[in-house]
Amino acid sequence: MPDWVFYRDDKLTEAEVMPRLVADFPRFRPRWEKHLELWKGKPAGSYNDIAEFAHFVVKDLYPNGNSADLQRAFDLMEHWLVNGNQNLRELIAIGFLEDVQNVASWQAFGKEAFIPFLGPQSRQAWNEIERIWADKTSLMEVVRDELKKRK
């Protein structure tokens, strides 16, 4: 037996996200297909991909009062935050939750409308995003502030 072992991470990865969302939310498919057309077969990147789902949640699911599907969506995000690898957790926090906050902040109902759907890990990430964005008006301010903290 060799004295070395391959490290294997059995945690979930971001590769499963979009196929699962498209399969689990059939009403998302038309938006998803438009997104794919826009990118003309080239990969858009997982953050651009999940942004489409965030827009779907804020602009389609919530206004239609579909609380069962909303809860399913946020439960799935919670599952990925708890069981995902680092890249997947970042994708859910930054790619989905932060996008939901940003998109919803331009809607009459506001981002607070989504708080009841958050699980414990999602709520923690949500609060962290709010902390980071507090008193900032642009992404550049957020980046500048985060870089200062690293020095």
Domain-located, residue 3: no
Neighbours of 37 (CB within 10 A): 9
pLDDT greater at residue 151 or residue 32: 32
Length of the chain: 151
Domain range for 116:
14-150
> For residue 66, which phi and psi values (nearest 5 degrees)?
-90, 75
Q: Does residue 87 surpass a pLDDT of 60?
A: yes
**Structure tokens, 130:** 């709010």
Distances (CA, A) of 126 to 34, 117, 130: 28, 11, 6
Does the model's pTM come out above 0.75?
yes
Domain-located, residue 9: no
Count: domains in the chain? 1
Summarize pLDDT for 20-59 with one digit per residue, the tens: 999 999 999 999 999 999 999 898 999 999 999 999 999 9
Domain-located, residue 2: no
Summarize pLDDT for 122-132 with one digit per residue, the tens: 999 999 988 88
